């Protein structure tokens, strides 16, 4: 696992956007796994700026959804399908037919989960998966004590996560669905490159457990320790609990430029 400490969220977004742009230059139809929430917005904004400048072409890129609320119609403004259309597809000029995601409004949710897992495999797998991290160490909606080999499935959200997400529902936790479809940890680990971005002091404990703690289901993000190409990008605040921060700074400052992240 590579840990990169950056000054702030903007720098982290630009670094990751550069990696995505390099991937798209090598493989214009790359399948990008995308996440929602406020943390990845600097990534999408930086990549969109590169598209506008002509530095990268995203017209052939494909996009895969990490998770989705259960029970919200696809056109609900806070369904993740709608959020990703506004924040990723439209700014990057990616056509709707290049988007894939689970059907959170399906009558048979289990069948929808299994169908999405198959769809990802049939598409050739995710080339680069963006991840955020919850204050409790969850990735996607794999809450603490999720199986480290889990597949796409329905999960019940903790009250902590529902409270964290209430800001997207006018501050009303009662509007936040209780269930989601999420790629499982085993599904996530099949992506060729995992890139996790975390910013703010509130994520510092979770990042320390992910990077320097034991591999344990109680911290789902610690599963990144098993991946052959996992990159954790954190700002100074999120890096505040890392015991080996100086080492991480040194190794990144001295790596060859051609390696990227």
d(CA 134, CA 146): 14
Q: Which CATH number applies to 1-257? A: 3.40.50.1360
Q: Is residue 136 among the annotated active site residues?
A: yes
Q: Is residue 244 among the annotated active site residues?
A: no
Q: Which of 103, 136, 164, 235 is catalytic?
A: 136
Q: Which of 18, 103, 138, 235 is catalytic?
A: 138
Whole-number pLDDT of residue 99:
96
| Structural domain spans, the chain | 1-257
Whole-number pLDDT of residue 164:
81
Whole-number pLDDT of residue 247:
98
Whole-number pLDDT of residue 93:
95
Q: Is the dihedral of CA 37, 41, 47, 53 positive or negative?
A: positive
Whole-number pLDDT of residue 173:
95
d(CA 61, CA 128): 12
End-to-end CA distance of the chain: 11
Whole-number pLDDT of residue 90:
96
Residues in the chain: 261
**Predicted TM-score (pTM) above 0.85:** yes
pLDDT along the chain (261 residues), means of 10: 97 98 98 95 98 96 97 91 95 95 94 97 98 94 94 91 88 94 98 98 98 98 98 98 98 93 95
CA-nearest of 145, 124, 123, 141 to 132 is: 141
The two structure tokens encoding residue 236: 């100074």
Q: Is residue 138 among the annotated active site residues?
A: yes
Q: Is the dihedral of CA 66, 70, 72, 74 positive or negative?
A: positive
Under a CB-based contact definition with an 8 Å cutoff, are residues 31 and 99 in contact?
no
Q: Which of 143, 164, 193, 235 is catalytic?
A: 143
Q: Is residue 164 among the annotated active site residues?
A: no
């Amino acid at each position: 696992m590579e840990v990169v400490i950056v000054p702030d969220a903007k720098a982290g977004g630009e670094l990751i956007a550069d990696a995505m742009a390099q991937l798209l230059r090598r493989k214009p139809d790359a399948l990008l796994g995308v996440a929602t929430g406020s943390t990845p917005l600097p990534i999408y904004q930086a990549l969109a700026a590169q598209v506008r400048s002509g530095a990268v072409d995203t017209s052939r890129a494909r996009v895969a959804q990490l998770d989705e609320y259960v029970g919200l119609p696809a056109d609900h403004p806070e369904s993740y399908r709608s959020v990703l259309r506004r924040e990723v597809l439209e700014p990057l000029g990616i056509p709707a037919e290049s988007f894939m995601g689970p059907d959170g409004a399906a009558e048979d949710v289990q069948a929808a989960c299994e169908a999405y897992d198959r769809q990802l495999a049939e598409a050739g797998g995710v080339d680069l998966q963006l991840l955020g991290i919850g204050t409790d160490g969850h990735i996607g909606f794999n809450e603490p004590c999720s199986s480290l080999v889990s597949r796409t499935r329905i999960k019940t959200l903790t009250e902590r996560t529902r409270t964290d997400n209430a800001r997207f529902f006018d501050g009303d936790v009662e509007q936040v669905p209780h269930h989601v479809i999420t790629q499982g940890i085993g599904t996530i680990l099949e992506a060729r490159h995992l890139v996790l971005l975390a910013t703010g002091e509130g994520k510092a404990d979770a990042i320390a457990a992910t990077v320097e703690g034991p591999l344990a289901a109680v911290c789902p993000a610690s599963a990144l320790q098993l991946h052959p190409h996992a990159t954790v990008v954190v700002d100074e605040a999120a890096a505040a609990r890392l015991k080996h921060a100086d080492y991480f700074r040194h190794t990144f400052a001295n790596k060859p430029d051609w390696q990227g992240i």
